[in-house]
Amino acid sequence: MWGMILLHKCDFVNPEYNFQCHKKSDTKIVVNMPNKKDPIVLFACKEHGDSRFNWLSATEIKITKAKDTNKISYTEYSEAMKQIRWKKCRRCNGEFVDSDMQCLIEYLWLKDNKISLRRSFSVHIDCLTSELRFYEVQEYTGHRETTLDQMI
């Protein structure tokens, strides 16, 4: 049993079709919330896991490219990375205030017989709620009666 990773299916829900992907997963997403004892564990395939990961790390990627092309100095890069990683929400890029509830999203790689941390992101609790909607099938409410007079 040790050294064996169980196969999981992708939990990502395509908003266009409103059903889960169910491809073989290679990404494990662990969500830690300060008001909950147990973390939320989700799985994603390469396509969906990478797309959400890249979205959350877009600002970091942009600053790294600026440093690599010598548009900013290493000290500017270092300061910008500190701001992004520790003082800003990765989803909305808003700064954290002392009264904000911060949640942590950890992206892990699932390889043949090991799990490794890819990166973790701090987000506001409201932003986390929006992010988790990508992993929930939305309830279909159906058509509603839109006439003014119910007797017609």
pLDDT above 80 for 141: no
pLDDT of residue 112: 75
Residues 6+ apart with CB under 8 A from 25: 7, 8, 9, 10, 11, 43, 44, 45, 49, 110
Check residue 147 and give its pLDDT. 60
In single-letter form, the type of residue at position 151 comes to M
pLDDT, tens digit, for every residue of 78-135? Answer: 999 998 888 888 888 888 888 888 899 999 988 877 888 889 899 999 889 988 988 9
Q: Find the farthest-apart pair of alpha carbons in the chain and give their distance in angstroms, rounded.
A: 71
pLDDT on residue 44: 92
Domain extents in the chain: 13-135
Residue owning tokens 């500017």: 76
Percent of the chain with pLDDT over 90: 38
- DSSP string across 68-83: HTTSS-HHHHHHHHHI
Measured between its terminal Cα atoms, the distance across the chain in Å is 66
pLDDT band at 4 (very low <50, low <70, confident <90, very high): very low
Measured CA to CA, the distance from residue 68 to residue 65 in angstroms comes to 5
| Interatomic CA distance for residues 88 and 150, integer angstroms | 50
Q: Which residue has the higher pLDDT, 22 or 142?
A: 22
Checking 136-143 for CB contacts under 8 A at 24+ apart, the result is 136/13, 137/13, 137/18, 137/19, 137/20, 138/13, 138/15, 138/18, 140/18
Residue 108 and residue 117 in contact, taking contact as beta carbons nearer than 8 Å: yes
Burial class (CB in 10 A: 0-12, 13-18, 19+), 51: middle
pLDDT at 5 over 90: no
